Amino acid sequence: MTLAHQPPQIAHANGIDICYEVFGDAGAEPLLLIMGLGAQMIHWDDDFCRQLAARGFRVIRFDNRDIGKSSRMTGGKRLTALELLKLKFLKIPVAAPYRLIDMAKDTVGLMDVLGIKSAHLVGASMGGMIAQEVAISFPARVRSLTSIMSTTGNPKVPGPTREAAAVLMAPPPATKEEYFERFAKTWKILRVGSFPEDEALDRSRAERTYERGLNPAGVGRQLRAVLASGSRKERLSAVKAPTLVIHGTVDPLVRPEGGKDTAASIPGAKLVMVDGMGHALPIPMWPQIIDAIDKHAHGAAAKAA
């Protein structure tokens, strides 16, 4: 059985251009995949998307603003350690050209262009934060919410490990080769442990990411958006959408407590801790993750019918 697939296209939404791609049949349950900080839509692996589409979803992945083939924004200097210290200890907010609410409006704007009244939202890391923001601010647009390796913005949740934080704050690589080396090293740290299938794909994934275009300044602006948006913890108590929280037990970047805090903050949320998963979606863990999303989203759809 071959599933419908539309190659990447550009939608004009919320005043910007958003590059998106669709897997699966037009009549299937719409499922939007929202990627994390500095990650292009192709970090939702093609096969991952196809496997979800095979479960009866119309899967839509897209590049957030400031990444991949979507619009590049302007402003915002590279984040400094001093700004982070001021935020942490003096509660002085970080300046940002845009916030997560703007990225949530991008998501809703894309749904408008595609004629989707409501969809199942699946967000990873920063994408989970954006999905949470959509569920808070545009509740009618969300059929179900799946927040993966994400958090509430609650400052009491432990921060990243030193090694993972260093990945986040490292200056951008100067050459193509340096980028490929950095890519492999970064994912080795974030995946935590040995994942030969993924390691074998690091080079081709890095090449594809590089070819679609890098935007280091954009990644910096996205990081500012996360830090400037503050905590969603209180507001999450108003979320009505059926919610699934998936988190790795060894996540070094968004610690497991981030997932637990998300699940504790949303009424009726279900928490799935994936044993041995870091801050990545490694191939051996796809069956568990895809099963959980499938069951959750189709279950929500059946209840709503």
What is the reported pLDDT for 152?
A: 98
Tell me what the mean pLDDT of segment 220-247 comes to: 96
Give CA–CA dist 267/114, Å, rounded.
30
Give CA–CA dist 245/148, Å, rounded.
6
- In tens, the pLDDT along 90-149 reads 787 888 999 999 999 999 999 999 999 999 999 999 999 999 999 999 999 999 999 999
> Is a pLDDT exceeding 90 seen at residue 222?
yes
Structure tokens at 293: 């999303």
Tell me what the mean pLDDT of segment 264-285 comes to: 98
- In tens, the pLDDT along 43-62 reads 999 999 999 999 999 999 99
> Is a pLDDT exceeding 60 seen at residue 8?
yes
What is the reported pLDDT for 130?
A: 98
Cβ contacts of residue 63 below 8 Å, gap of 6+?
18, 19, 20, 35, 40, 41, 69, 70
> Please, what is the average pLDDT of the chain?
95
Structure tokens at 165: 């934080």
Q: How confident is the model at residue 1 (pLDDT cuts 50, 70, 90)?
A: low
pTM assigned to the model: 0.96
Structure tokens at 89: 């200890």
Structure tokens at 3: 């599933």
Pairing of strands 119-124, 243-248: unpaired
Give CA–CA dist 251/165, Å, rounded.
12
